[in-house]
Chain A
């Protein structure tokens, strides 16, 4: 398996532009998570899905952020309009959940580094 695949790896954009980050989870994983990593705030959970349905989006910072999972093999995180404070590394992770292994073990993608000028 190729693991969790994220694109783009790097994105530089100007304030006000729309940004779309993409994620392909591991085949067969029921859960998908979006995290944001910054020096100031560490790793923050933005949203997670179970079987393509958003379960908890309480970490989404504001209405400028939206996430979708149209099918089991694809998810997007969109920021519109982007702001400099959105600059961060955004990670996607997927898992089988707790059911099989008794603990939710996440497999992370390599991340998308976003810079908003």
Chain B
């Protein structure tokens, strides 16, 4: 079975500062990993995904994440926060090879301080 743990249910950063949202995974097989973003009153949107190719994955809106097998981590970063980044962010994991289920973490709410 696969699972993800997101450290910190709330993160606040100043506008222009580094954004770091943490995600650790547990998987008995090489995982596929995802970050999704949810804006208020909307569904989730894909930010980026890792599928065992490059370990540094770039997504939309300037976000990127690095897969670190030794640390079982897939942290999300953005060099400079923008007010529009305020949202809830979800890490998710699935197993490859025909297992279509995505298991989501509990989410991290990102607040941007002007």
Interface of B is mostly: loop
| Complex alpha-carbon distance, A104 and B49, angstroms | 10
Residues of A64-117 contacting chain B, CB below 8 A = 91, 93, 95, 97-98, 101-111
Closest to A4 in B: B43
Total chain A interface residues with beta-carbon distance under 8 A: 27
**Nearest Cβ distance between residue A71 and chain B, in whole angstroms?**
20
Instruction: For the complex, give the distance between the alpha carbons of A50 and B101 in Å.
Output: 11
Q: What is the CA–CA distance of A4 and B44 in the complex, to the nearest angstrom?
A: 11
Q: Does B41 lie at the interface of the complex (its beta carbon under 8 Å from any beta carbon of A)?
A: yes
A102 contact set on B, CB distance < 8 A: 32, 51, 96
Given A108-B43, A110-B41, A111-B43, verify A103-B94 contact (CB < 8 Å).
Answer: yes
Q: Does A14 sit at the interface, judged by CB under 8 A?
A: no
Shortest distance from the beta carbon of B83 to any chain A beta carbon, whole Å: 22
A43 interfacial contact with B, CB 8 Å: yes
B100 touches A97 (CB 8 A): yes
Given A108-B45, A110-B42, 8 other A-B contacts at CB below 8 A? A31-B100, A42-B106, A42-B107, A48-B101, A91-B44, A98-B100, A102-B51, A105-B46
For this complex, 13 residue pairs linking A to B, each with C-beta atoms less than 8 Å apart, are A31-B100, A33-B102, A42-B104, A43-B90, A43-B104, A48-B100, A93-B43, A98-B98, A102-B32, A103-B49, A108-B44, A109-B43, A110-B43
